[in-house]
């Protein structure tokens, strides 16, 4: 796990169209100690921010109006246009009651972790740390479970 | 120094403590936003944040009590344990019986949290400010006790995907 100094060297962009959702994630990120916490309310706004600035990790609300996972899919297809390209770690936050299918869908779109509400600083720290340091683990775990289901 | 959420009359002058109190008042304000929206997942998130930060902040203050030998420690820690039990109970009840959280009950919780913070800081925390501020060792130890350090082991051990995938992964292990 990162220490306080390491977290402070990281930046995050939060993409969510729900005010309270942004508020809870933003405050958790600040308490964790991110050096910069910024947010966007639409996919277009997020893309514009990602084109001009590098972020250590992107956090996306799954249940936003036009679909958080659909946004990640588009982001991965246009990786050459953003700072950090296809290596930008992406964490999805879903409403409570997330299913394995939601995990498969997020992994297929190129997400690097999924957390469901309620979100705590502890859970967010774990998900963000894995997405940043072991970006392939989420897809591997999803694939392993998909084989069990099949 | 001005704070975003902490009322000026509740500033103790102990920077780490005031910063934590500012966070706690901020969490209560977020609870207020979530209760207006009636989004259970977000409401539970705010309560989870309140539990995490309350436990952390109390531990931090108690590090100061140990170093300074603060005479009001026993009574103060008892109040800490009481609030910890209350917010942990709230978190559990919200998870197990969310329909019991009517608008009226949420208003009561809001009022309780604000009242508790005001009372506790004004009447108990103000009593330790001189002891803390006259002990550079206590000030440093409290500043060194970070939120991420406090949560690191618990974060390492937790598995946010486990609630969703755990049963299927256990089935897979059974087949091996």
Model pLDDT for residues B85-106, shown as the tens digit of each residue: 999 999 999 999 999 989 899 9
Structure tokens of B164? 């969703």
What's the average pLDDT block by block, 10 residues per block, for chain B (176 residues)?
Answer: 89 96 93 83 90 96 97 95 94 92 91 94 95 96 96 92 84 57
- HSE, CB side, 13 Å, CA atoms: give it for residue A10: 24
Chain Cα centroid distance, residue B70: 22
Beta-ladder partners of A113: A91
CA-based nearest distance A96→chain B, Å: 6
Q: How many Cβ contacts (< 8 angstroms) between chains A and B? A: 127
Cα–Cα distance, A123 to A119 (Å, whole number) = 6
Q: How far is B108 from chain A (nearest CA, A)?
A: 20
Q: What is the pLDDT of residues A104-130, one digit of tens each?
A: 999 999 999 999 999 999 999 999 999
ipTM: 0.87
* pTM of the complete model beyond 0.80: yes
Residues of B in contact with A113 (CB under 8 A): 160-161
Q: Residue A84: which of A42, A44, A131 has the closest Cα?
A: A131
**CATH (domain of B137):** 1.20.120.50
Average pLDDT rounded to a whole number, residues A124-138: 96
| Coil, helix or strand at residue A78 | coil
Picking from A33, A115, A120, the nearest residue to B148 by CB comes out as A33
The confidence score (pLDDT) of residue B96 equals 94
On whether the CB atoms of residues B71 and B59 are closer than 8 A, the answer is no
* B39, B43, B171 member nearest A148 (Cβ): B171
Contact residues of B toward A, CB < 8 A: 23, 26-27, 30, 33-34, 37, 39-49, 52-53, 146-149, 151-152, 154-156, 158-161, 163-165, 168-169, 171-172, 175
B160 min Cα distance to partner chain A (Å): 6
Q: Domains in chain B: how many in total?
A: 1
pLDDT at B175: 45
Query: Does residue B160 lie within any of the structural domains?
Result: yes
Please check whether residue B46 lies inside any domain of the structure: yes
Q: What pLDDT score was predicted for residue A127?
A: 97
Q: What's the CA gap between B77 and A123, in Å, rounded?
A: 27
Q: Do A31 and B49 touch (CB under 8 A)?
A: yes
Judge whether B3 lies within some domain: no
Whether residue A141 is predicted with pLDDT greater than 70 in this model: the reply is yes
Residue B36 in any domain: the answer is yes
Query: Residues A125-144: what's their mean pLDDT?
Result: 96
Domain that holds residue B138: 8-175
Contact B52 A117 (CB under 8 A): no
Tell me which H or E stretch contains A96.
Answer: none
Cβ distance of A148 and B169 shorter than 8 Å: yes
> Is the Cβ pair A27, B27 closer than 8 Å?
yes
All structural domains of chain A, each given as residue ranges with its CATH number in brackets, are 4-149 (3.40.50.2300)
Specify the pLDDT at position B23: 94
């Amino acid at each position: 796990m990162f220490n306080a100094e390491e977290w402070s060297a990281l930046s995050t962009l939060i993409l969510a169209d729900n005010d309270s959702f942004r508020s809870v994630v933003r405050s958790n990120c600040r308490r964790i100690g991110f050096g910069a916490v910024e947010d966007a309310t639409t996919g277009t706004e997020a893309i514009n921010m990602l084109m001009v600035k590098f972020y250590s990790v992107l956090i996306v609300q799954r249940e936003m109006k036009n679909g958080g996972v659909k946004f990640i899919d588009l982001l991965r297809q246009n990786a050459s246009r953003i700072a950090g390209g296809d290596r930008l770690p992406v964490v999805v936050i879903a409403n409570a009651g997330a299913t394995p299918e939601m995990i498969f869908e997020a992994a297929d779109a190129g997400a690097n972790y999924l957390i469901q509400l309620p979100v705590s600083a502890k859970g967010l720290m774990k998900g963000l740390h894995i997405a940043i340091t072991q970006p392939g683990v989420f897809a591997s775990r999803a694939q392993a479970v998909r084989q069990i289901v099949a | 120094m001005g704070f975003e959420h902490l009322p000026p009359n509740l500033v103790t002058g102990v920077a780490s403590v005031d910063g934590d109190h500012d966070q706690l008042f901020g969490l209560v304000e977020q609870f207020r936003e979530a209760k207006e929206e009636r989004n259970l997942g977000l409401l539970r998130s705010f309560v989870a944040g309140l539990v995490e930060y309350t436990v952390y902040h109390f531990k931090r203050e108690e590090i100061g009590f140990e170093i300074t030998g603060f005479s009001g420690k026993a009574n103060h820690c008892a109040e800490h344990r009481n609030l910890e039990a209350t917010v942990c109970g709230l978190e559990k009840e919200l998870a197990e019986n969310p329909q019991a959280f009517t608008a009226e009950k949420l208003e009561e919780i809001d009022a309780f949290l604000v009242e508790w913070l005001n009372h506790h800081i004004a009447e108990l925390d103000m009593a330790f400010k001189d002891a803390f501020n006259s002990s550079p060792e206590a000030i440093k130890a409290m500043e060194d006790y970070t939120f991420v350090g406090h949560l690191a082991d618990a974060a390492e051990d937790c598995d946010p995907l486990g609630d969703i995938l755990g049963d299927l992964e256990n089935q897979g292990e059974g087949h091996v």
